[in-house]
Structure 1
């Protein structure tokens, strides 16, 4: 029978509890008139999933499948799906959009009600079955995007959430560009700092910025991650944020022809403003997509006097997702996969992926292989 992976409710306080994983057998879903059925091949973890297990994320569900990232094959279409759409999707490998409730507005979700926008996976705000840690998923065809053919299933599963988040933080908010062509013109030759390299969003931002023509510098607490970013992914330099004078060390690496940063892409928060303001050009931008250090960050008068622009950025719209996937396809970018485990039923191995996140061991995404591509869907 088909399976879903959820969390099991146990007693405990937020931040202290750790909900165990639970594998469930469920009936094979049947597409509604305007739905398609997708056979999932792989799904990937995000920090959000660890926060859900620790009850540190709002609106969690104990019935919904976990995980927001997934790739699969469309195996069935409902009776009222447009025939042309059905023909194009059936047997096609597709990426699943990782969120709902945001179509195209570059400013933010069209509905100002915060509850209108939700991330897929373990969310009580979305219809049943919204998540990628399962064998099958029912979706509106509009929530699918053809998977770039150069990607393996694991690479494809590694892309959606982090790729979308990085694209918006870098392109829409960071460069202020409406499309990839404008982004390439804005990024050509500029200096970009991406903090916390090793995480999925940071790695995607590095890959996208390099492909756009920017000179990219990175930070990490792990020298091996800094070296990999330079040697394998085209980073121009990097420093350890564990060093008290990392900002001075970074300043020494900037080229004499452009001895300043134009843009910072940050997911940590903390003292990034006070550090980066010493390196940013007047009018430079700090694009923040997360705050893993603390839920607050300082805004200094020095940043005001230098006209620094601080911009918040969270995931992105359906239109930005389409643009990001097209960019990955055209530039044959391969998302970085840290580790893959095989089998939705291998709970111990999946728990090990969560421990990688908790310990910060990963360099790239952590992926669960659910089914081989081309597998007969009638088996479940």
Structure 2
């Protein structure tokens, strides 16, 4: 089979013929039609995770058709159009993953290939209103956003939601989920163009975080009180700007972050947290039940993921470099 392989860390992906996976008991073989990129793939290439072994086929997100099943797997899966849950071996505790938790694409070979194998329990039928390219964007990003918003922040449609970094894959899924549920959603971005695109999606408004007084200006735009306005804040940046989220959070607000793109969180004033009774959470990936709930919600609400660019598998390295540039608004997809 054709695959995009990371032969050595810090080197470009190489397109080559690799051995087609062989399924064992409980497993299925999926002929992939599309895969999508995550920053995780770039970070693996850069060696930013521990215990990376090469060669490895990256890729956590994929959609395709089941072509083979192993012993003990219902043969009715054969021929079904599916997406794959990349959050595997979560464990019995819904609050925290166990020691055996792993994400598809490391340490196991991932989806930047014509075929991938996985346990049958990690399959979900592809929502019929989505193309393979659209469906392939869901697994990692939408699951991360779903857990952050729905589970960690206990989201309700009455919440006033702020999503930082509009344009990234997870952030856009959070925006779509909250809007589809009927909530008022605001965004931040370093690009006025991305803010406008989020408004066209249904966000009520936004602010450019490069403006030094962005947090005060946002409260004025949202007509919120000086003590804060947003009940739910979903962040991916961390860094020094995270402290400003305390200023615009409503009393009792829930704040969840799933990334730290701008570095360590600094300068938080403890009194702002405890006098406002703020709740600050971290989150990553999600459970099998959360994955299934996310897919069901996407299906019921007919949510269509935002795709920025589609590349052929042969251009997987170009796709990684484009992701690393940070220009995208939405997901980057490989068509296989």
Residues 167, 92 of structure 1: CA spacing in aligned structure 2 closer, same or farther, 3 A cutoff?
Answer: same
Residues paired across the two proteins, number: 334
Q: In the alignment, is the contact (CA less than 8 A) between 2:240 and 2:264 conserved in 1? A: no
Q: Give per-residue Cα distances to partners, 1:293-319, cap 9 Å, x unaligned.
A: 004444322222211111011111111
Structure 1 segment 218-367 matched on structure 2, within 5 A:
218-231=187-200, 233-255=201-223, 260-301=229-270, 302-342=272-312, 344=313, 346=314, 349-367=315-333
- In structure 2, what is the equivalent of residue 137 of structure 1? 116
- Tell me if the contact between 1:191 and 1:263 (Cα under 8 Å) persists in the aligned partners: yes
Per-residue CA deviation, residues 184-203 of structure 1 (Å, 9 max, x unaligned), is xxx22321100000000000
CA distances 1:216-265 after superposition (whole Å, capped 9, x unpaired): 0001111110000001x100100001000100111012246997110110
**Alignment CA distance shift 1:199-1:334 (3 Å):** same
* SS at 1:137 equivalent: strand
Q: CA deviation at 1:350?
A: 2.4
- Secondary structure of the 1:192 match is strand
Match of 1:373 in 2: none
Tell me, what secondary structure is at the counterpart of 2:153? helix
Shift of 1:283: 1.3
CA contact (8 A) 2:157 2:178 kept: no
Tell me what 2:67 maps to.
Answer: 75
Q: Cα gap change, 1:21/1:256 in structure 2, threshold over 3 Å: closer, same or farther?
A: closer
Could you report, residue by residue, the CA deviation over 1:296-354 in whole angstroms, capped at 9, with x for unpaired residues?
Answer: 44432222221111101111111110110000000000111110012x2x2xx322222
Query: 1-side partners of 2:132 and 2:92: how far apart?
Result: 27
Q: Does 1:196 align with 2:184?
A: no
8 Å CA contact retained: 1:105, 1:317: no
Displacement after TM superposition at 1:144 (Å): 0.6
Question: Could you tell me how far 1:41 is from its partner in structure 2?
Answer: 0.5
Alpha-carbon distance, 1:273 to partner: 3.8
Q: Distance in 1 between matches of 2:334 and 2:91?
A: 28
Tell me the distance in 1 between the aligned counterparts of 2:241 and 2:123: 36
1:263-295 per-position Cα deviation (integer Å, ceiling 9, x unaligned): 110000013442112111111111011100004
What runs of 5+ residues in structure 2 fail to find an aligned partner?
none
Counterpart of 1:19? Answer: 11
CA contact (8 A) 2:228 2:251 kept: no
* Partner residue in 1 for 2:125: 146
Q: Which runs of 5+ in 1 are unaligned?
A: 11-17, 176-182, 371-380
Residue 98 of structure 1, aligned match among 72, 86, 97 = 86
CA distance in 2, matches of 1:276, 1:194: 11
Query: Structure 2 length as normaliser, TM-score?
Result: 0.94
**Could you tell me which residue of structure 1 aligns to residue 22 of structure 2?**
30
Distance 1:149 1:297, change over 3 A: farther
- Measured after TM superposition, the shift of residue 143 of structure 1 is 1.2
SS in 2 for 1:208: helix
SS at match of 1:108: coil
- Cα distance, 1:20 vs structure 2: 1.5
Q: Residue 178 of structure 1 aligns with which residue?
A: none
Distance 1:34 1:165 in 2: 26
User: Which residue of the other structure, out of 167, 176, 181, is the alignment partner of 2:146?
Assistant: 167
Task: Summarize the Cα distance change of 1:36–1:65 in structure 2 as closer, same or farther, 3 Å threshold.
Answer: same
Comparing 330-339 with 59-68, greater Cα deviation is found at: 59-68
Distance in 2 (CA, whole Å) between partners of 1:190 and 1:70 is 32
CA RMSD of aligned residues (A): 1.8
TM-score scaled by length of structure 1: 0.84
